[in-house]
Structure formats: structure tokens, C-alpha cells
Amino acid sequence: MGALFSALLVAPRSNALPIGAVGKNTALGTVSQGSCCVAVEECPPSSSETPLPSIARLNGCRPDRTDVEDMPTGLDDSHISFSSSGMQLANSDFLLSGPVDPLLALHDLLELPEHSETPFFYTHRFSALIPFHRMTFSPDAIRVLTTPNAGGNSENSEALSFEVLHRLLGARLLKTEMQIHYQAGAKITDYLCILHGHRLGVSVTRAMKHTDPAEFTAADAEALLNKKLYGVNASSEAVSSSDCWERQLLHIWAQSERIATILADVWAALSNELRANTIVVCTVAPNHKWLF
């Protein structure tokens, strides 16, 4: 299990490291109605670091387990702090912040078999401390950034998506977009990774309005979620048996906190068939025009 989650399990919330306050932004985070609602009042004991059983494979998928390793040890310059309002994970290049309990619930969702079919919506905040071109990426994120994709101008957001999931959840890359095999003409996902010993396909998108984020509406959110979740489900059905995953994660970069709130509300009202067992991670990144 990754160093970050090990620290989440054992670090006292009252012993905050002096990495700087984020103010109201540390309160960001949602576990919306209809999603996983694992009650986490106290940090689990360190004994829960023992690997838990794998969740059921989908569509008869039986990938070779030799590509499943322990979570990476994490970045040496990571600093975690806890307060009554949330958690902050700081590196020299960017800061992630959000409430602790939804993050622990997300870890439980990834590990516990009884939640393998449970949809989930998690919101947190991203704050860059230096320009994108000066950030230090993991080798896997560099692979995402430098490997050809299916087109478009999404390399930055996809590489940063992986780096966020790597630092927050211990993600390890298996395949980039064009390395994954599907049936002819299928919808595709952006990369395949390992999270908590399980294979997840990850699709990355952005929720924004170029003119003004305040113009983003519930109709915009519904159109985006319908399109992306349909594509997630379609690609899960069409992926080859050699590259198949157990579930997918839709990573949304949101231009503002307001947009993230609209997305969560609209997502909660979508059909169970559309939401399926997809995990939605919404990363709020205001004032980062280079992402949008």
C-alpha cells in the first residue's frame, strides 16, 4: 500500500505539518447521494495495511497478476498535514487538499469487494506552486506526456491527471492510450493503471467555459457527464481481454468550485445504468488557465 495512504492511516490529525494554510479550500469534498457512503469516523488501525482480497473481475477478465505489484513508495518531498477541516498533501510543485473522510472512503471503495459495483464522486482541490514546465513528474507521468495519443491537445491534462492519482492514491501506469487494444471502432480511454492492486481504466476530461466559468450550467454538466460516462461504459465493453480493467475512473478537471458543485449535483441525479461502477474524481483547479 502506498506511503501516502499508510500515513493517512497512522498520522494523528492534530499534528499538522507547517506547510501553509489553504483556508476554505480545504473543506472541498463530496460523497454525493447514491454514491459510496462508507462511514469513517476515525483513522483505521495500521493493521489494515494488510492486502485485502481482489474485487471480482468484470466480463470474465483474468489478467496476468504478474503485472500487479505493491504500491509505489511515494515521493520523498511529500508533506501531509491534517486539521479539523481536511488534509493537505504538498510537494514542491503543487498542493492537493480536501477532507479526510471522503478520501478514506475512496480508498475503501478501491479495496473492499462489497463496493466493487458502487459509483462514487470525490472532489478535491489542486493548486500549482510553480509553472507546469518546471514540475517534477514521475516516470509514468512522463510516459503519458510524451507517448502519442489519439489526438487533441490533452497531453498536459492527462499527464497531470496521472501524477495527481499517483501522489494521492499510489497509481502505477500500465499502458498509455494508444497501447490499449479494443474491438474495431470502439470508444477508448486515456490510460490503464494499477490502483490498490486493481486495474482501472482512466478517462480524463475538463469541465469549463472558455469565456467565463460562471456561464457553466447544469445543462453543460449533464451533456459532459452523459458523453463521458457513455464513453467509459462503451470502452469497458470493447476493451480486449488482455488489457481489460475491473472498473473505470473518470477524472474531471473543473475550472471552478461552482462547476464542481454543479457536476456533483447533476451526477447524483443520473441513472444507475449510466453511472455504473465508475469512480469520478473531480479536481478543482481555479486560476490555472494553462489547464483549460
Asked, for residue 230, whether it belongs to a domain, the answer is yes
Asked, for residue 57, whether it belongs to a domain, the answer is no
Run of H or E including 4: helix 3-10
pTM check: above 0.85: no
Asked, for residue 205, whether it belongs to a domain, the answer is yes
87 and 167 Cβ atoms separated by less than 8 Å:
no
Q: For residue 37, give its domain range.
A: 3-15+27-47+70-291
Mean pLDDT for the chain? 78
d(Cα 179, Cα 87) in Å, to the nearest integer?
35
The burial class, CB within 10 Å (0-12 / 13-18 / 19+), for 61 is middle
Asked, for residue 20, whether it belongs to a domain, the answer is no
Distances (CA, A) of 35 to 126, 204, 264: 23, 20, 10
The string of pLDDT tens digits covering residues 134-192 is: 999 999 999 999 998 877 667 899 999 999 999 999 999 999 999 999 999 999 999 99
Cell of 258: 461552482
Domain count for the chain, please give it: 1
Q: Is the pLDDT of residue 237 over 50?
A: yes
Nearest residue to 260 via CA among 292, 278, 285 = 285
The string of pLDDT tens digits covering residues 256-283 is: 999 999 999 999 999 999 999 999 999 9
Asked, for residue 187, whether it belongs to a domain, the answer is yes
Asked, for residue 131, whether it belongs to a domain, the answer is yes
Asked, for residue 123, whether it belongs to a domain, the answer is yes
Asked, for residue 274, whether it belongs to a domain, the answer is yes
